Amino acid sequence: MTTAEFSVSGLLDTLAADLQVSVAAIGYLVSIYAAGMALGGPLMVLALARLRETTALAVVLAAFAVAQLAAALAPGYGVLALSRFVQGFAGAAAFGLALSLGGRIAGPGRQGQAAAWIMGGLMIGTVLGLPLASWLGALLGWRRVFAGLAGIAALAALLVWLRVTPPAASGGQAGARAALADARLWKVFATSFLLIGATFAAFTYFVPVLGRLSGIPARWIPACLTLYGVATVIGNFVCGQLVDRIGAWQVQFRGMALLSVALLLFALGASHLPAALAALVLTGLTGVALNPAIVARVMAVNGSPLVGAVHTAVISAGLLLGSALGGLAIEYSGRLAAPLWVGAGLAALGWLSLLAAPDRVRRTTGTAAAKSGS
């Protein structure tokens, strides 16, 4: 699903030429997908609330497959844009359902690792799926790549429907709706929003920063982005292990502090190659790699698919805001390093937001881990 989400980024020129639109118009397809995630995930989960979670996840994956196939067959830009919006709906719902199911299958004391494995698909899809889709698109054409991704999503839907049997859910949608009125949950959401906003304020502009300020030749930029991607994968799985050992709040508190330092170092040292590369790696280890911690904190309050889908919507909104603020910072300051300062500021606010969030989530996670160990 992540490969499908970002595949258009690696096929910008090909799609623009084939559909006879501007490169910018193709770039908007990423934003359209994110808008669908922000707006539609909770609605889709509510619409499927009467189904078993495994059935609901299979339906969501099947809907994603159909929308992806529509994208592959799209006669023009309008159909492609609409299909991307529907995919965003399904994507947000799928993450909410998968995290809920995964957490209950893993059981107490292992939810951090479960979240790491599920969110690891997002990391690996970015590191490996995006360049693979770009390469296959040049070799086979974008329509065949899109159709292949639709087939994989359909296979996933079938496997979930046939093979996944989780423990019984507790609380239901009524409990989830009550949880959405809990101030603790929205404090956790606020931290997630600021974390993702900080990361994407900087990440969106890594290529021009590395090329123009750090002086890295264009041919080495993909290798630098791969280095960043590998760091996120490693950080994600390490974060999952640490969440189950010391608690999600502690992991996020320390990780957000390191992210603030990393982006500040990047902003101050972007023109110095060693400092820029060190900051790049540290950002990868602590940015979106903290996903298992933010997921575990949300699940400690309420682990329902509805809450998970709302959390995904909040994250998507953070992504959109961070990227937009980074662009505005460049426009109004005239400095290419401005998005890095924006990211550092948002990360610092995210760290401060943890001080306002109750520490109960950390104690709950730690207690669960202790019980599991005994």
pLDDT digits (tens, 9 = 90+) for 241-279: 999 999 999 999 999 999 999 999 999 999 999 999 999
Question: Are residues 216 and 130 part of one domain?
Answer: no
Percent helix, strand, coil in the chain, to 5, is: 85, 0, 15
Question: Are residues 104 and 223 part of one domain?
Answer: no
Nearest Cα to Cα of residue 322 among 342, 294, 352: 342
Residue 230 token pair: 């590998």
**DSSP single-letter state for residue 166:** P
Domain extent at residue 283: 175-368
SS3 167: coil
Domain harbouring 269, CATH code: 1.20.1250.20
In the chain, the amino acid numbered 44 is M
Boundary residue ending a domain (139, 168, 197) = 168
**Locate tokens 């023109």: which residue?**
271
pLDDT digits (tens, 9 = 90+) for 212-239: 899 998 888 878 888 998 999 999 999 9
Q: Residue 168: which pLDDT band, with cuts at 50, 70 and 90?
A: low
Question: Are residues 198 and 148 part of one domain?
Answer: no
> Mind giving me the DSSP string for 201-244?
HHHTTHHHIIIIIS---GGGHHHHHHHHHHHHHHHHHHHHHHHH
- pTM beyond 0.95: no
Give percent above pLDDT 90 in the chain.
Answer: 42
Q: Residue 284: which pLDDT band, with cuts at 50, 70 and 90?
A: very high
SS3 235: helix
> Mind giving me the DSSP string for 313-368?
HHHHHHHHHHHHHHHHHHHHH--TTHHHHHHHHHHHHHHHHHHHS-THHHHHHHHH
Q: Residue 25: which pLDDT band, with cuts at 50, 70 and 90?
A: confident
d(CA 48, CA 45): 5
Question: Are residues 279 and 187 part of one domain?
Answer: yes
Sign of CA dihedral 29, 65, 86, 144: positive
Long-range contacts of 134-140 (CB under 8 A, 24+ apart): 134/7, 134/10, 134/11, 137/7, 137/10, 137/11, 137/14, 138/14
pLDDT of residue 365: 40
Boundary residue ending a domain (121, 142, 168) = 168
Question: Are residues 134 and 31 part of one domain?
Answer: yes
d(CA 155, CA 282): 36
Contact 259, 199 (CB under 8 A): yes
Boundary residue ending a domain (131, 151, 168) = 168
Name every residue whose Cβ is closer than 8 Å to that of residue 24 and which is 6 or more positions away in sequence: none
d(CA 218, CA 211): 6
Beta-carbon neighbour count of residue 266 at 10 Å?
29
Domain count, the chain: 2
Question: Are residues 98 and 78 part of one domain?
Answer: yes
Nearest Cα to Cα of residue 165 among 247, 267, 54, 62: 54
pLDDT digits (tens, 9 = 90+) for 68-86: 999 999 999 999 999 999 9
> Of 21-25, 76-80, 351-355, 360-364, which range is least confident?
360-364
In the chain, the amino acid numbered 330 is I
Residue 289 lies in a domain: yes
pLDDT of residue 312: 83
Q: Residue 174: which pLDDT band, with cuts at 50, 70 and 90?
A: low
* pLDDT at residue 362 tops 80: no
Residue 48 lies in a domain: yes
pLDDT of residue 374: 35
* pLDDT at residue 143 tops 80: yes
* pLDDT at residue 13 tops 90: no
Question: Are residues 14 and 95 part of one domain?
Answer: yes
pLDDT digits (tens, 9 = 90+) for 177-224: 777 888 888 999 999 999 999 998 998 888 889 988 999 988 888 788
